[in-house]
Amino acid sequence: DTGVSQDPRHKITKRGQNVTFRCDPISEHNRLYWYRQTLGQGPEFLTYFQNEAQLEKSRLLSDRFSAERPKGSFSTLEIQRTEQGDSAMYLCASSSSSSGANVLTFGAGSRLTVL
């Protein structure tokens, strides 16, 4: 069990560019979540998958954001035409639906800086 892996850990980009983050969940976990965390705030929910199905999306997830989990394993979060307001830590978490408490295990996050 190697935990939840996120790549890249840090990304600096210019406004208007596209960026993509990858998350590899714990292998036996069928649920995968994306959260965004800005400075001084708690994580805010963006979207989540059960297996390959995207079951819920937050209103925070604008049209410029898209997330996929094509084979029910790893997931990608793409931000198109980045804006300075997108600068944040993007956290991925996974869990098992068979776990009673459905505890989320988080990755170390991908920090995005938009110049």
Partner 1 sequence: AQKITQTQPGMFVQEKEAVTLDCTYDTSDPSYGLFWYKQPSSGEMIFLIYQGSYDQQNATEGRYSLNFQKARKSANLVISASQLGDSAMYFCAMREAVSGNTPLVFGKGTRLSVIA
Distances (CA, A) of 81 to 50, 68, 87, 88: 28, 18, 12, 15
Cβ 64 to partner 1 shortest distance, Å: 21
Residue 104 lies near partner 1 (rule: CB under 8 A): yes
Assign 30 to helix, strand or coil. Answer: coil
Cβ 16 to partner 1 shortest distance, Å: 26
Interface of this chain with partner 1, residues 44 to 83, rule: CB under 8 A: 44-45, 48, 50, 55-56, 58
Residues 6+ away with beta carbon under 8 Å from 15: 82, 83, 84, 114, 115
- Would you tell me which residues interact with partner 1 (CB under 8 A)? 33, 40-45, 48, 50, 55-56, 58, 89, 91, 93, 100-109, 111
